[in-house]
Chains A and B, each alone.
Chain A
Amino acid sequence: MFLLKDIPIKKQLMTVILFISGTVLILTCTAFIAYDFYTFKKTTIQQLSTLAEIIASNSTAALAFDSREDADEILSSLKAEKNIGTASLYDKEGHLFSQYPEEATVSEFLAMSSENGFYFKGSNIEGVQTVLQGDRKLGTLHLSYNIRIIQERLRSYILISILVFLISFVLAYQLSRISQKSISSPILNLANIARAISERHDYSVRAPLTGKDEIGLLNNAFNRMLTQIQEQNQSLLDKNNELKKTNEDLDSFVYAASHDLKSPIVNIDGLFNLLAPEIYSKNETTNYLIDRMQHSITRLKRTITDLSTAAKAQKNIFDDIEEVKFEDVFQEVSIDIETLINSSNAEIKTDFCELSTIKYSRTAIKSVMYNLLSNSIKYKSYDRPPVVHIETGKINGKKVLTVKDNGLGIDLNKDKEKLFAIFKRLHSHVEGTGIGLYAVKRIIENNNGSIEVESTINKGTLFKIFFN
């Protein structure tokens, strides 16, 4: 039966039903044939004995008055019974008196020891019947009956049995096809519902209520489970929506804050730049303080810009989408971080031949390149000057930007999660806002792209930006 477990339940049920009905049919047919064969044999012997008695009784006068013609006539009446092989009548001394059919070869003399009765002998039933008139023995009748008819009957019975078996089997097949439905269809129904749910995640469907049997129980349990899942799902969705809304509010807040902070900061920067020459070189302390302020204002501007970009990315509200040249963006970024490049002796190699432009937000591309390039230089190796390769191209039909450095490298096993998280920093020996890579990830993913990172500690890191 374990062979059944991989086939549909419909077929399992039908196989079981057909197996049982087939076995019962075979047993019944066999018993029927055996019983009939046995009875038929018995009846045949009985009929033969009766026939012999009749023939014997009829041939008494023929034997008594030596009338072979009469004996021949009596025996020839046996031709009505076509399965009589031979019939021979012997007188009381055991000499052949008459025989049937006339051309048969039968023994000329019958041993007188034979008792009345008929038995199976080879392919015949044979036996003798004493011819008696009153209590006087006049002779003996010997009959041989061909059992061909029994074999024929057996053959026809087997044939009928096979026919009955086939018809019954077909009937059983049809009936089982109909009757198995009452069991299999609720199960199949349930299976279909389960499949539909797992495919479409629609937890609102319900199994139909059936009877109070195990399948009904199963349906009820299934429905209760669905209700629970639906409720849990709903509460998750609600929570998710709440969180989304909170996130949106936060994004709006960050965006608004960064936007509103931008102009005062720019004002401060401008005013400070006007103020600085006025108070410069009065004394050493003043100059030091001016430099520190200048530095802080720059950092503040950077943070505000990053936050603004990240917020924009999150809300996906870039309004400067155009055909952007990578070379142009690179030049702008290079100017922005000139100090950093010069102070670290960084060597930057670019290759934008394969893909020189992309239709994207200029601000977004700039932010991506700025963050990746500045990171590559900031997190340089302690032993060697940074070498950064910036390239564009296509991998599997996707536009890609790669930034490869020879810096500190990242332990991805440990820090992959932190890498793109907001306000998380893996190193503290250099300055940073903790927003950069978060902003990059937001920009790329909100535009249906993806980021891959490969890194080896102390060898370098490779960022692959797939745009879409």
Chain B
Amino acid sequence: MATLKTIIYSIALALILICGTSLYAQISISREYQIKAVFLLNFTQFIEWPEDAFATTDSPLVIGVLGENPFGTQLKETIAGEKINGHPLAVEYYKKVEDINSCHILFVSSSQMPKFEEVVSNLTGKNVLIVDDANNYMHQGSMIKFFNQSNKIQFQINPDAIKNTQLTVSSKLLRVAKVVKPKKN
């Protein structure tokens, strides 16, 4: 009896542990993009767009997601009802590079990273902040890159790349980010 009980308990404990871990892993991924969604929202507070980036004083500040949407509904929920300097926030999803409309932040999901060069060349000279979470693109025009370190979402900023967009980045944002040094020529 005692042994049976012990075995049942052991199995139950193992099941709970396994399920728990996988559950945690799942929450972790969804939580990762939840945090990234919040960060995208928060970027709008520490970065200033020039006035002519908006059609009118109350036209929306658009966050575009290029490629496969990793946020689900989270980004939409996060920005719902938020306003920055009178501009309401809006999300637009673009399947392909050609679909990119006028937006202020463009999040490039990993599925579209192979076409990153094209994205960058299309947006050159426009007031668009290009954000991604893939490695090795920092010197190809990526302005902000999310990365995961010690289970924490952090980001790198490439001030050099942002310089051409006429966006003003708050020094406070630079404080909390890893700043990428300019590429050596």
Contacts and interface: CB of A to CB of B under 8 A. Distances in A.
Given A133-B45, A134-B45, A136-B45, A65 B176 contact: yes
A70 B176 contact: yes
Interface stretch (B14-22, B62-70, B125-133, B167-175): B167-175
B85 A134 contact: yes
A356 interface: no
Nearest to B170: A61
Given A70-B175, A134-B84, A65 B155 contact: yes
B35 interface: yes
Interface string A37-64: 0000000000000000000001011101
Contacts of B147: none
Given A60-B172, A70-B176, A134-B85, A65 B45 contact: no
B33 interface: no
Interface residues of A, number: 12
A143 to B, nearest CB: 20
Interface residues of B, number: 17
A136 B152 CA distance: 24
A65 B39 contact: yes
Contact of B172 (A61, A66, A136): A61
Interface in B85-107: 85
A134 B48 CA distance: 11
A9 B124 CA distance: 100
B12 interface: no
Given A64-B42, A65-B39, A58 B84 contact: no
Contacts of A133: 42, 45-46
Nearest to A69: B176
A445 B32 CA distance: 138
A57 to B, nearest CB: 8
A67 interface: yes
Contacts of B175: 61-62, 67, 70
B84 A65 contact: no
A67 B172 CA distance: 11
Contacts of B155: 65
Contacts of A65: 39, 42, 154-155, 173, 176-177
A65 B157 CA distance: 13
A62 B175 CA distance: 8
A61 B84 contact: no
A422 B108 CA distance: 154
Contacts of A67: 154, 175-176
A133 B170 CA distance: 11
B173 A61 contact: yes
Contacts of B170: 61
A64 B85 CA distance: 17
Interface in B23-76: 35, 39, 42, 45-46
A5 B157 CA distance: 90
Interface of B: 35, 39, 42, 45-46, 84-85, 152-155, 170, 172-173, 175-177
